[in-house]
Structures are given as structure tokens and as C-alpha cells.
């Protein structure tokens, strides 16, 4: 696809750095290079070569910067069209100055995600790969990054295409039955078709079920550290972060507002929230802090409920336990470095069946922290020790598309089993095929595409 306008943007983050990159894509990219760039020494300007030289103002011929320039002839470029990349010195002023010169030669400012959108529209990337570009940029842990790189490499696309190929073959058999009767000996039996549909449905459902794990790697998990005052919540936050982020004192009520930080726990980006101690408030300020705790608990994915293992269970502890049972909960008995008074027998009657065993730790000295992080990871995935699937989906629209596709095939299977005419069965399979195509962008509605690319930064 050829676009009439040439777009340009700064592709590196705002701020001062060693190098800043300006990206230009469109039909006049080479012409812009010829007008602005003076290679040293002068010579041919070939595709996929890096050249050193100077950027010249198109209006005054003044030297704007000493740069490195690369030209990529379409379709062998990121966007699939002629692309120019100018590596300037990394100051905000010089980058803006060079970009203004590019605009003076006819380019216009790029919109969010427009470079990647052009790559998608020019079939350089499918939609799953295009979204993987953004996931790579936003990755918070190594497993999340690895999953995004696999998706960019085409692993998800290959699996979706393999399922689509099975569905197309299945549809061909059903449509053959429309034109030929069973007496003609064309096509397979109804029983064979039902079996094949069931197998495809199973593959689609299995892929859809990877969404929770893929979403966790991509977006992370919100975990609230809760408990009554002075049980060691801030000490635990500091221990998990490896730095003194929260103030720790023996004075109850030191933490009034919540503190939130992200930490890598077993490859999962976990947003830890340290909260005010939960107890009857002594003043309006403490009440406001406790109100914030309950608001955070409502939206938390899981709770670390901290108890003082060196003391007996209090009435406040019991009230907290009863209020927490609606959330995935991990009990943490702190202060294991002191003589222990709290035993797990006193907790069992207060917790629902299936609650993981309590973990004893010393937030002060670090004892038991490895066991805690391992137990937290198992709680978040709800499948202890399970390895990550080779291919995962990370976006809700992908899960929705898979569910729509599976539902269409289930309807087709039911219709076929009940003697429905093959014309109507074929319609259901067609709809299932279209739903599956939304994942890789074959049949994705335009408003969905616009929403996806609007999440990108300018310059990507």
C-alpha cells in the first residue's frame, strides 16, 4: 500500500542522551535525504548503508548537526515504504531543529503508532506482531520480554494460522456437501466432521486459556500488603524492593498514605502496595489512610496479610482475616527472629479451605523471603510449578476473538449433530473463521485497529 504523505517523528525518548533518532517514512523520504544530507565524503547514497555527514538547513544552508544517516528502500524497511533514519546528537534542541528542517521539506508529524500501523497495512507485520512491538517496549520482566519477542517472531501468528488452515479445510468439506450428496462419494462422514470440529475447538480453547498468564506477564499483578500497625508491612516492602523505600519506626501509624512500587517476583511484575495499619482510627488523618487501604484492597489481585508471629492472634487480626477471604490470600507470619507465639492451628478455622500454608519470615533479617516470593508466584498463577506455555495471548481482544471463534464452531457442531443443513453449518464456520482472523488482523474492525495503534508512542 502506498501512502501519499511522508511522516516524521523523533523516535527516542524525551531528554538528553548521547544519540537521538529521527525517523521518516513515505514516498519523499529519499528526496528529503538528498535535500538535507551532505555525506562525507560525497558519494552514492545506497539503501541499507550507514553514512556519516552533515544536516543542512533547507532555507539557509547552515549546518544543523553532524549525523549518521541510513536509507531503507521499500518494501525492505520497517514500514514497507521508503524510510530514512537520522541519528543526531541527543539534545532536545538539536533534535527539534533537525525535525523542523524535515517538516520544511514536506513531511508531516507522525501520529501515535503510525509507523507500525503502516508496517501492518503493508503486510510487514500482522496485528499480533504489531502489538508485540508495543509489548516489547513496555516489558517489565525478562519472561514478559521473552514472550513479546516470541510473538514478534511469529509464534502466535503461526499457531493461529495453523488453526485457521484446519478450519478452512473443514469448511471446504462442509461446503462440498452442499453441492454433492453422500451418494456421490464426495466429502467425509458427519461423524468425522464432528470429531474434527471438536479437535479444533479444543485447540482454540487451550490458546484462550493462556490469556491469564500472558496478561500477568504483560500487565503485572497488584498485591496489597495489609495488616494491623507495627507488624512489619513497611519492612517487608523494603526487603522485597531491596531498598529503604518506606519509613520504618516502632511508632504505630507511621504509614498514613499508601506507597506503591513494582518488583520482579519470579518473572512477574508485581505492583506492591504498602498500606496504613488497619485498626480503629485515632484521628481523621488516620481514618483517611485506612479508607485508602480498603479502596486498594477492593482492586487488588492478591493480598499479603501480615501477622506478628511473635504475638498471639488479636481481635483485630481475626476481623482482618474474615474480611480478606474474598481475595487470593497469602498469610505471612513476620518476626520469625523472635520467640514464636502464633501457631497455624489457631488460624485454620478462620480461613477457607485451600488457603496456602502460612509463610514464616523475618522482614528485618530476610529469613524466609525466598519461600515467600515462591509461594506468592504460585498463588498468582494458581498452578504451582507450572511452566509457561510456549505461546501465550496477552490481550483481552485476542481472548474474546478466540471465545467467539470457539462458540461459532460449537454451534456448527451442534447443528451438524442435529441434522442442520450444511449451508447453515457453513455460515457458523465462516463466522468462527472471521473471529479467529481478528487476532492477526485479517478481519479486525477498523475501530479496534485505531484503538490498538493509539496506545503506541509517537515515533513507533
pLDDT tens for residues 144-187? Answer: 899 999 999 999 999 999 999 999 998 888 887 776 555 444 44
Extended strands (E) in 230-291 = 259-265, 268-274
220-381 CATH = 3.40.50.300
Nearest to 157 by CA among 126, 182, 181, 198: 126
Higher confidence at residue 177 or residue 440?
440
Q: pLDDT band at residue 256, thresholds of 50, 70 and 90? A: very low
CATH fold for domain 130-210+393-444: 1.20.120
| The two domains 7-110 and 130-210+393-444 share their CATH topology (first three levels equal) | no
Residue 277: per-residue pLDDT: 57
pLDDT band at 255 (very low <50, low <70, confident <90, very high): very low
CATH number attached to the domain at 7-110: 3.30.1360.120
- Split at pLDDT 50, 70, 90, the class of 383 is very low
Structure confidence at residue 243 (pLDDT): 65
22 — pLDDT class (breaks 50, 70, 90)? very high
Q: What's the pLDDT score for residue 180?
A: 57
d(CA 270, CA 264): 6
Average pLDDT over residues 440-459: 85
DSSP assignment letter at 355: P
CB 88 within 8 A of CB 67: yes
* Rounded-to-10 torsion of CA 394, 201, 380, 439: 10
Alpha-carbon span 188 to 392, nearest angstrom: 33
Mean per-residue pLDDT of the chain: 85
In the predicted structure, residue 436 carries a pLDDT above the cut 90 = yes
What would the pLDDT profile of 265-320 be if each residue is shown by its tens digit? 878 888 888 776 555 555 555 556 666 666 777 777 888 888 888 888 887 777 77
What are 415-423's contacts with CB under 8 Å, separation 24+? Answer: 416/174, 416/190, 416/193, 416/194, 416/197, 417/190, 417/194, 422/174, 422/175, 422/177, 422/178, 423/178
What is the domain partition of the chain in residue ranges? 7-110, 130-210+393-444, 220-381
**pLDDT (tens digit, 9 = 90+) per residue, 398-415?**
999 999 999 999 999 998
Amino acid at each position: 500500500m502506498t501512502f501519499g504523505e511522508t511522516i516524521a517523528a523523533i523516535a527516542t525518548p524525551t531528554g538528553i542522551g548521547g544519540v537521538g533518532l529521527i525517523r521518516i517514512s513515505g514516498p519523499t523520504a529519499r528526496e528529503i535525504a538528498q535535500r538535507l544530507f551532505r555525506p562525507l565524503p560525497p558519494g552514492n547514497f545506497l539503501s541499507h548503508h550507514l553514512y556519516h555527514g552533515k544536516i543542512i538547513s533547507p532555507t539557509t544552508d547552515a549546518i544543523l548537526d553532524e549525523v549518521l544517516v541510513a536509507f531503507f528502500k521499500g518494501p525492505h524497511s520497517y514500514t514497507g515504504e521508503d524510510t530514512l533514519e537520522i541519528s543526531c546528537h541527543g539534545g532536545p534542541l538539536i533534535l527539534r531543529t533537525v525535525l523542523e528542517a524535515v517538516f520544511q521539506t514536506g513531511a508531516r508529524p507522525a501520529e501515535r503508532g503510525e509507523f507500525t500501523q503502516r508496517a501492518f497495512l503493508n503486510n510487514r507485520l500482522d496485528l499480533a506482531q504489531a502489538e508485540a512491538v508495543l509489548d516489547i517496549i513496555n516489558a517489565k520482566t525478562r519472561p514478559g520480554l521473552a514472550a513479546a519477542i516470541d510473538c514478534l517472531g511469529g509464534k502466535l501468528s503461526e499457531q493461529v494460522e495453523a488453526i485457521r488452515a484446519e478450519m478452512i479445510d473443514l469448511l471446504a468439506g462442509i461446503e462440498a456437501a452442499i453441492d454433492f450428496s453422500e451418494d456421490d462419494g464426495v466429502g467425509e462422514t458427519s461423524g468425522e466432521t464432528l470429531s474434527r470440529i471438536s479437535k479444533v475447538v479444543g485447540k482454540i480453547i487451550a490458546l484462550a486459556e493462556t490469556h491469564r498468564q500472558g496478561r500477568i506477564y504483560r500487565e503485572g499483578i497488584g498485591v496489597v500488603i495489609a495488616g494491623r500497625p507495627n507488624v512489619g508491612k513497611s519492612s517487608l516492602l523494603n526487603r522485597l524492593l531491596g531498598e529503604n523505600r518506606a519509613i520504618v519506626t516502632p511508632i504505630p501509624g507511621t504509614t498514613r498514605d499508601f506507597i506503591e512500587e513494582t518488583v520482579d517476583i519470579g518473572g512477574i511484575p508485581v505492583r506492591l502496595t504498602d498500606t496504613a495499619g488497619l485498626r480503629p482510627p485515632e484521628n481523621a488523618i488516620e481514618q483517611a489512610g485506612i479508607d485508602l487501604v480498603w479502596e486498594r484492597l477492593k482492586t487488588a489481585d492478591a493480598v499479603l496479610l501480615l501477622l506478628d508471629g511473635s504475638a498471639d492472634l488479636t481481635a483485630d487480626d481475626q476481623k482482618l482475616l474474615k474480611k480478606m477471604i474474598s481475595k487470593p490470600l497469602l498469610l505471612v507470619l513476620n518476626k520469625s527472629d523472635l520467640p514464636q507465639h502464633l501457631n497455624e492451628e489457631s488460624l485454620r478455622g478462620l480461613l477457607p479451605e485451600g488457603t496456602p500454608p502460612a509463610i514464616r519470615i523475618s522482614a528485618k533479617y530476610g529469613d524466609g523471603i525466598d519461600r515467600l516470593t515462591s509461594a506468592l508466584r504460585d498463588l498468582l498463577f494458581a498452578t504451582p510449578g507450572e511452566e509457561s506455555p510456549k505461546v501465550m495471548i496477552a490481550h483481552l481482544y485476542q481472548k474474546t476473538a478466540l471465545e467467539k471463534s470457539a462458540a461459532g464452531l460449537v454451534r456448527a457442531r451442534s447443528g451438524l449433530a442435529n441434522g442442520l443443513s450444511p449451508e447453515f453449518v457453513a455460515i457458523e464456520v465462516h463466522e468462527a473463521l472471521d473471529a479467529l482472523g481478528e487476532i492477526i488482523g485479517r478481519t479486525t474492525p477498523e475501530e479496534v485497529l485505531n484503538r490498538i495503534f493509539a496506545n503506541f508512542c509517537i515515533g513507533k
